[in-house]
Amino acid sequence: MKLIITSDYEEMSQISAQLVLSKMYSDKRVNLSLTAGSTPARMYEILKDFMADRPYFDNVHFYNFDEISIEGEQYGLTMRSLNEQFYHPCTIKKENIHELNPTNYENYDQKITDDGGLDLILVGIGADGHFCGNLPEYTKFENETYTVMMEEGDKNFKLLHELIGKKPEGATVTFGPRTVLSAKQVVLFANGEHKADIIQKALEGPVTTDVPSSVLKLHPNLVVVLDKEAASKLSK
Amino acid sequence: MKLIITSDYEEMSQISAQLVLSKMYSDKRVNLSLTAGSTPARMYEILKDFMADRPYFDNVHFYNFDEISIEGEQYGLTMRSLNEQFYHPCTIKKENIHELNPTNYENYDQKITDDGGLDLILVGIGADGHFCGNLPEYTKFENETYTVMMEEGDKNFKLLHELIGKKPEGATVTFGPRTVLSAKQVVLFANGEHKADIIQKALEGPVTTDVPSSVLKLHPNLVVVLDKEAASKLSK
Amino acid sequence: MKLIITSDYEEMSQISAQLVLSKMYSDKRVNLSLTAGSTPARMYEILKDFMADRPYFDNVHFYNFDEISIEGEQYGLTMRSLNEQFYHPCTIKKENIHELNPTNYENYDQKITDDGGLDLILVGIGADGHFCGNLPEYTKFENETYTVMMEEGDKNFKLLHELIGKKPEGATVTFGPRTVLSAKQVVLFANGEHKADIIQKALEGPVTTDVPSSVLKLHPNLVVVLDKEAASKLSK
Amino acid sequence: MKLIITSDYEEMSQISAQLVLSKMYSDKRVNLSLTAGSTPARMYEILKDFMADRPYFDNVHFYNFDEISIEGEQYGLTMRSLNEQFYHPCTIKKENIHELNPTNYENYDQKITDDGGLDLILVGIGADGHFCGNLPEYTKFENETYTVMMEEGDKNFKLLHELIGKKPEGATVTFGPRTVLSAKQVVLFANGEHKADIIQKALEGPVTTDVPSSVLKLHPNLVVVLDKEAASKLSK
């Protein structure tokens, strides 16, 4: 594990962008999987500066790592987010985008290995320790891509139900821990004081499904990029 | 995970030897960690045919992955075993052998990363699911190289006590799961019917410290080489 | 460059087989390019022992590196040879074989990079220093896959004309030096006294198009496997 | 070869910095070789922003790739330049800097392979096509690190003689083409209209010692980063 503690969100975003971009400067096929959400917001702005309207990124393919499909909508939450934050601003060609959704998740791991494997996956961490869609209550480390099984009494059920207009079960798919850890490089990034506790647990605590991202530290080529607030509870 | 089911022990040994030898045919420094014991016995004979008295292996370094030191002896059980099975017959130079022992284990992970990391580690599996010195009762997945803490009531205490002529605590050191998983490639091999149950649990069951080797399947570059008896309980 | 001097043709073949096989033991897509001819004859027998009827090589793809097409025949000389020596005995699936021929050579380099690049290419050396179809009179180091332009007065013209039943121009296609050198690993093998002179020139002499294979020593990951006769003129 | 044509010197410098920095974010030993001179001036400013006073780069080692030693001075021209531009501003530790000079050049290639090989080398190109100290009149592609043999009538002799206060022969050492090409990744960068002609020759012309950098395009993992002026004479 390489731990990089930066001075602020800007530096965290710059370094994350360097890691992602440097993989793309290859003539051979490159397969990447990048997170949506608030943590990468600034990173995607930087990527735009180096990717938009460039003719030399046809070799780079993108694999979505989770999805929450919405009733009556073509795209789920993740695809919608990535389209807005990344695929459209960075002018990624449609044929280089590999959507994950409830109809194709069962063959998705096989598809990735057939395509040569992921060169890099960039993930964030939730305050509850989740990464991708691997939530504390539902995570099995041995899982490949799966649909998250929620029951009506579950904590996230009602929340998601309202959000997506249908029962979440079957609507939510995600790379399992094993899919994520099968990438050649894993980058975990986080910023802000509200991530300090979970970062401490994930990086310095036991490997446990109670903190799903605690398993990431077992990857042979993990880079962790934090701002100093997110790193503030680390002992060393 | 690449699963290779061979017809017999001979083929399992040949393929394991191919994996190990192919790493060595490089002009650059190569770092390997190979298990001692009965499983690799035939593999070491094959290695001898391709390594003994060859002038072109000065670039290859070997890192012992566990040790049980014995009272009044220069070498512990692992070093003694590897000397007999491998280092002497294959004419490995002393300066290319990196012994692990109770006096140097604390800095061993740092030493490996300073040396460029392990290119390959070859491990066996015990009937109880252990790999290296990671026993079911004592394993924490987050551990790097550590000394196994045994107490007098423990199952293995008496056994080891008699074997090594002193209290095992402090005498037993091992790569932790995290050290093993930090290698660029992991090879797990096993043969025989008596390994069929544990292989099924390790490869198809949950990732759990009750079966320490169950964690190996999270490595992005794992090759499992089995004879058909060891594979006989696998569902697919 | 890693130079391995073996005691005989058998050992040369075994080590070549180890290098080739070890690449295949991956769960991810692997792309290989292997030579036909007499040098690999024994190696292909060894490959057969480890490949025929194995269910776990669907991830491995093969790219032919040259071709001499024959009038009125479906397959050219190389494809015919590889079918006999390798593809049929080793039960390679049709969809994993990527034929090169005069109709597709222009897009072949792009196809390879789109597929992720070659993981290994295994080449022999002619007594005149050629590798693949790169002959002393026709080689440009900067060439990617090309058709060898022969004129009626040329040394090989008449020979090939009789062999293939038509004018060789346009019938002969080959990876150029640049295609070969774009592989992640290059293995060059040779055996026999009749190769000793050219091996000395290729490995110890200047990089020159007069000895096309002299350029191979510029590759960052070249392994040369020789029997002791082929190595007998080397100075060190 | 990956060709990246940027809009200006700033973007060329940013992308070069991304490539170099991304290699450093590893916990394992990393070996780099970076050019001195005017082309990297802005890149080194960017590196400073991400490297100065950072505690997490102890794993990164730097290997100077040429030297012109000066009479009566401790450091030659290259070491002096790198100290000013890079090593001092980026607070590189002395033990991580591997000086090349006339007293150690003969064992330098061996030292690099013993240390695990170069992960990346960044080179510029002279208007005459030279890279490192490989000048058109003196280059042999098969050379590893060597001392450039100049005679009194030579073009550069008088120039260097005045500059360094002694006869240049024996004072000038450089990585040969083979040393450069043995790196795992090669990055070539150039900016400005005055480089347009030589860039066209090096990238699109024949591989010839008249244009030493023409050989770089044979590397399997070459990235070329140009501003649009330097790229203006390219045909595609």
- Is position B128 annotated as part of the catalytic site? yes
Give contacts of D205 with chain C, Cβ < 8 Å. Answer: 142
Q: Does the residue D234 lie in any domain?
A: no
Give contacts of B182 with chain A, Cβ < 8 Å. Answer: 220
In this predicted model, what pLDDT tens digit does every residue of C12-21 receive, in sequence order? 999 999 999 9
Residues in chain A with pLDDT < 50? none
pLDDT of amino acid D162: 82
In this predicted model, what pLDDT tens digit does every residue of C75-92 receive, in sequence order? 999 999 999 999 999 999
For chain B, say whether C17 makes contact (Cβ under 8 Å): yes
CB C46 within 8 A of CB C13: yes
To the nearest whole percent, how much of chain B has pLDDT over 70?
A: 100
pLDDT of amino acid B171: 84
Query: Which residue does chain A place closest to B203, by CA atoms?
Result: A142
Q: Are strands C120-123 and C30-34 parallel, antiparallel or unpaired?
A: parallel
Supply the DSSP string of B14-31, one letter for each residue. Answer: HHHHHHHHHHH--SS-EE
pLDDT of amino acid B157: 81
pLDDT of amino acid A164: 82
Query: Which residue does chain C place closest to A117, by CA atoms?
Result: C28
pLDDT of amino acid B236: 73
Neighbours of chain B (3+ CB pairs under 8 A): A, C, D
Give contacts of D177 with chain C, Cβ < 8 Å. Answer: 218
Distance from the A3 Cα atom to the nearest Cα atom in chain B, whole angstroms: 14
In this predicted model, what pLDDT tens digit does every residue of D39-52 receive, in sequence order? 999 999 999 999 99
Q: Does the residue D236 lie in any domain?
A: no
pLDDT of amino acid A158: 82
**Res. D169 pLDDT band, cuts 50 70 90:** confident
In this predicted model, what pLDDT tens digit does every residue of B166-225 receive, in sequence order? 777 778 999 999 999 999 999 999 999 999 999 999 999 999 999 999 999 999 999 999
Instruction: Single out the catalytic residue among A53, A61, A109, A128.
Output: A128
Give the range of the structural domain holding residue D77, as residue numbers without chain letter. Answer: 2-227
pLDDT at D183 over 80: yes
pLDDT of amino acid D163: 79
Neighbours of chain A (3+ CB pairs under 8 A): B, C, D
In this predicted model, what pLDDT tens digit does every residue of C56-80 receive, in sequence order? 999 999 999 999 998 889 999 999 9
**Res. D109 pLDDT band, cuts 50 70 90:** very high
Contact D115 B29 (CB under 8 A): yes
pLDDT of amino acid C87: 98
For chain A, say whether C143 makes contact (Cβ under 8 Å): no
**In degrees rounded to 5, what are phi and psi of residue C40?**
-85, 5
To the nearest whole percent, how much of chain B has pLDDT over 90?
A: 87
Q: Are strands D146-147 and D172-174 parallel, antiparallel or unpaired?
A: antiparallel
Q: Does the residue B233 lie in any domain?
A: no
In this predicted model, what pLDDT tens digit does every residue of A149-161 receive, in sequence order? 877 877 778 888 8
Q: Are strands A30-34 and C186-190 parallel, antiparallel or unpaired?
A: unpaired
pLDDT of amino acid A150: 79
**Res. C137 pLDDT band, cuts 50 70 90:** confident
To the nearest whole percent, how much of chain A has pLDDT over 70?
A: 100
Q: Does the residue D203 lie in any domain?
A: yes
CB A16 within 8 A of CB A40: yes
Tell me the pLDDT of chain B (236 aa) as tens digits. Answer: 999 999 999 999 999 999 999 999 999 999 999 999 999 999 999 999 999 999 999 999 999 999 999 888 999 999 999 999 999 999 999 999 999 999 999 999 999 999 999 999 999 999 999 999 999 989 999 999 999 987 787 777 888 888 888 777 778 999 999 999 999 999 999 999 999 999 999 999 999 999 999 999 999 999 999 999 999 999 97
Supply the DSSP string of chain A, one letter for each residue. Answer: -EEEEESSHHHHHHHHHHHHHHHH--SS-EEEEE--SSTTHHHHHHHHHHHTT-TT-TTEEEE--EEE--TT-SS-HHHHHHIIIIITTTT--GGGEE---TTTGGGHHHHHHHTT--SEEEE---TTS-BTTB-TTT--TT--SEE----TTSHHHHHHHHHHSS-STTTEEE--HHHHHTSS-EEEEE-SGGGHHHHHHHHHS--BTTBGGGGGGGSTTEEEEEETTTTTT---
**Res. D101 pLDDT band, cuts 50 70 90:** very high
Q: Does the residue A234 lie in any domain?
A: no
A3 pairs with which residues across the strands?
A224
pLDDT of amino acid B168: 78
Count of the separate structural domains present in chain D: 1
Residue showing tokens 């060709």: D3
Q: How far is the C-alpha of D106 from the C-alpha of D110, rounded, in Å?
A: 9
- Token pair of C166 as six digits: 């038509």
Contact A140 B184 (CB under 8 A): no
CB A22 within 8 A of CB D2: no
pLDDT of amino acid C165: 82
What ipTM was assigned to the predicted interfaces of this complex? 0.95
Burial level of D147, CB count in 10 A (0-12/13-18/19+)? middle
Residue showing tokens 């012994």: B99
**In degrees rounded to 5, what are phi and psi of residue D47?**
-55, -40
pLDDT at C117 over 90: yes
Average pLDDT score, chain C: 95
pLDDT of amino acid D137: 84
Supply the DSSP string of B37-87, one letter for each residue. Answer: SSTTHHHHHHHHHHHTT-TT-TTEEEE--EEE--TT-SS-HHHHHHIIIII
A169 pairs with which residues across the strands?
none
Q: Does the residue C234 lie in any domain?
A: no
For chain B, say whether D162 makes contact (Cβ under 8 Å): no
Supply the DSSP string of C97-114, one letter for each residue. Answer: EE---TTTGGGHHHHHHH
More confident residue, C157 or C4: C4
Q: Are strands D30-34 and D60-63 parallel, antiparallel or unpaired?
A: parallel
Instruction: Single out the catalytic residue among B128, B154, B161, B197.
Output: B128
CB D213 within 8 A of CB D148: no
Which of B1, B3, B7, B18 is the mutation pick for testing C, counting most C CBs within 10 A?
B18
pLDDT of amino acid A163: 80
Angle at which helices C41-51 and B9-24 pack, to 10 degrees? 130
Neighbours of chain D (3+ CB pairs under 8 A): A, B, C
Query: Which residue does chain D place closest to B112, by CA atoms?
Result: D28
pLDDT at D63 over 90: yes
pLDDT of amino acid B122: 98
More confident residue, D133 or C171: D133
- Token pair of D213 as six digits: 């950098």
Question: Which of B196, B233, B150, B179 minimizes the C-alpha distance to B66?
Answer: B179
Q: Name the residue type at position D18.
A: Q
Of D27, D59, D113, the CB nearest to B29: D113
Kindly report the CATH number assigned to the domain that includes residue B32.
Answer: 3.40.50.1360
Q: Does the residue B218 lie in any domain?
A: yes
Question: Which of B17, B13, B23, B33 minimizes the C-alpha distance to B57?
Answer: B23
CB A187 within 8 A of CB A194: no
Q: Does the residue B236 lie in any domain?
A: no
pLDDT at D168 over 90: no
Instruction: Specify the range with the lowest mean pLDDT, choosing from C23-37, D123-137, D153-167, D201-215.
Output: D153-167
CB D228 within 8 A of CB D11: no
